[in-house]
Structure 1
Amino acid sequence: MLALFGAKSAAASAVGGRHIGFHWMLPAFAALALSGCMPATTQIAAADPADPAAKAARVGYRSTIAPYTSLRPATPAPWRDRNDAVTPQPKQDR
């Protein structure tokens, strides 16, 4: 990231004197990088995992393949009957 910043600032200064405002990126990057080293200041309101009387959410089971139905072996129907079953019906007013 710092190499990219250096390359952008070098390219910006070489563009014929035009100044593109990248000067704010270094403090922002430093603050972002240092924020990962800071301890968490907020406590997560959760039950103690060592407490056997602590309330916990129920565990639910949901199958990942529940809507699946096997289509094998499927006996093929005559193609004309299958085609006629899915064609739109003719309108009565014509």
Structure 2
Amino acid sequence: MLALSGAKSAAASAVGGRHFLLNWPLLAVVALALSGCVPATTQVASADPADPAAKVARVGYRPTIAPYTSLRPATPAPWCDRNDAVTPQPKQDR
């Protein structure tokens, strides 16, 4: 990727007659790499986890299928009766 961007900038400078002072993709990669070295300035939790009097957010329960309603039109019949209803009738001897 860096070789391609270098080739593009060289071609652009040859065609345009001007020189690029910064290689923008390389600068972006360096900035991204250095951003991982910056210490976090905000605290994640200000309360001591060992303090039993520390205030914490309430725990709420929200079921994942809360709006569910059954769409079954009727109670199912016993499976033996349903199976017998769809079974082919035996043929009479010829």
The structure where helix makes up a greater share of residues is 2
Aligned to 2:29, the other structure's residue is in SS state helix
Aligned to 2:14, the other structure's residue is in SS state coil
TM-score computed with the length of structure 2 as normaliser: 0.56
Structure 1 residues 27 and 8: CA distance shift in structure 2, 3 A: closer
User: What stretches of structure 1 move > 4 A for 4+ residues in a row?
Assistant: 19-22
Structure 1 CA distance for aligned equivalents of residues 59 and 5 of structure 2: 52
Structure 1 residues 11 and 29: CA distance shift in structure 2, 3 A: same
**Aligned match of 2:30:** 30
User: What's the CA shift for 1:13?
Assistant: 2.0
**Identity among equivalent pairs (%):** 59
**Equivalent residue pairs, number:** 71
TM-score computed with the length of structure 1 as normaliser: 0.56
Bigger Cα Rg:
2
**Aligned match of 1:10:** 7
Task: Structure 2: give runs of 5+ residues left out of the alignment.
Answer: 75-94
Higher-RCO chain (CA-CA 8 Å, sequence separation at least 6) = 2
Structure 1 CA distance for aligned equivalents of residues 52 and 23 of structure 2: 55
Q: What is the one-letter code of the residue matched to 2:8?
A: A
Task: Structure 1: give runs of 5+ residues left out of the alignment.
Answer: 76-94
In the alignment, is the contact (CA less than 8 A) between 1:47 and 1:54 conserved in 2? Answer: yes
* CA RMSD between the two structures: 2.7
* Greater shift in the superposed pair: 41-50 or 53-62: 41-50
Structure 2 CA distance for aligned equivalents of residues 16 and 36 of structure 1: 33
**Aligned match of 1:88:** none
Structure 1 CA distance for aligned equivalents of residues 12 and 48 of structure 2: 59
User: What's the CA shift for 1:14?
Assistant: 3.2
